Amino acid sequence: MPDNDTAAGRAETTLNDKVRSFLPSMGLPEERRGRNRGSQLTDAERELYRRILSTFASGNVPSREAVMVAAENSEQSGDKALRRMVEIDLIQVSDDGAIMCAYPFSATPTGHDVVLDDGTLLHAMCAVDALGIPAMLHRSCHISTSDPLNGAQIRLYVDASGQVNADPPGAVVVSAVASGTGPLSSLCCPLLNTFESRATAEEFLSRHPELSSVILSLADASTWGAAVFGGVLG
């Protein structure tokens, strides 16, 4: 009989190998994952970045004015800090400087609704980001989204450890990357979606052969979300 612990260890190693190989292809090197996320910032800038994330996590959108005040209180340039966060694609801002997203959070609805265990409604940038929010916040949540191919409603429950229960149970995640250059918010986020089944995911991808893509189980997608966002806020 196989050694269950050994088999589990092999499965974990295989998944970790997939994480290491796939995330760089999405523009996510080691310094932009987990506790290392934001490590290119100065200490003051990183604290401001975490403040932005915490504001989103509370169900509010951080205003530029509030960020500027917080930056001034920590004796740094808010404009410079935000430019640096945009440059390394931690956040994105609108033409008038409003903060539109700080991955995994969006300032506007995206079709990936995340409701925390206390009822707080958040908008995730994509399916994987939604699954990464419980790991970032150490909270359980419900995720509501829909299949891009047929509009079927999909509901997920994710506990704080990342375990996922799905309705329908055969739901999967398509992770795809468009060609070109630009932030992940334009190249990847619109293409990282949950499908009600592998069949609809495969049908969608057959209609878009130009995409570089992979179909993920919900367990894998949750693990990858945790690899990117777990530990960012401690």
Radius of gyration of the chain (CA): 18
Residue found by looking up tokens 């989204």 in the block: 145
pLDDT band at 181 (very low <50, low <70, confident <90, very high): confident
d(CA 56, CA 136): 12
d(CA 158, CA 147): 18
For residue 208, pLDDT over 80 is answered with yes
For residue 180, pLDDT over 80 is answered with no
Phi first, then psi, for residue 160 (nearest 5°) are -65, -20
Average pLDDT value for residue range 147-155? 97
Label residue 205 exposed, middle or buried (CB < 10 Å: 0-12, 13-18, 19+).
Answer: middle
Q: Which of 22-31, 137-146, 147-156 has the lowest mean pLDDT?
A: 22-31
Average pLDDT value for residue range 64-78? 93
pLDDT band at 187 (very low <50, low <70, confident <90, very high): confident
Strand 105-106 and strand 212-217: pairing?
unpaired
The overall average pLDDT reported for the chain is: 88
Tokens of 38: 């934001």
Partners of 212 in beta bridges: 177
d(CA 136, CA 109): 20
Contact, 191 vs 225, CB < 8 A? Answer: no
For the stretch 4-45, pLDDT in tens is 445 444 444 444 444 444 554 455 667 777 889 999 999 999
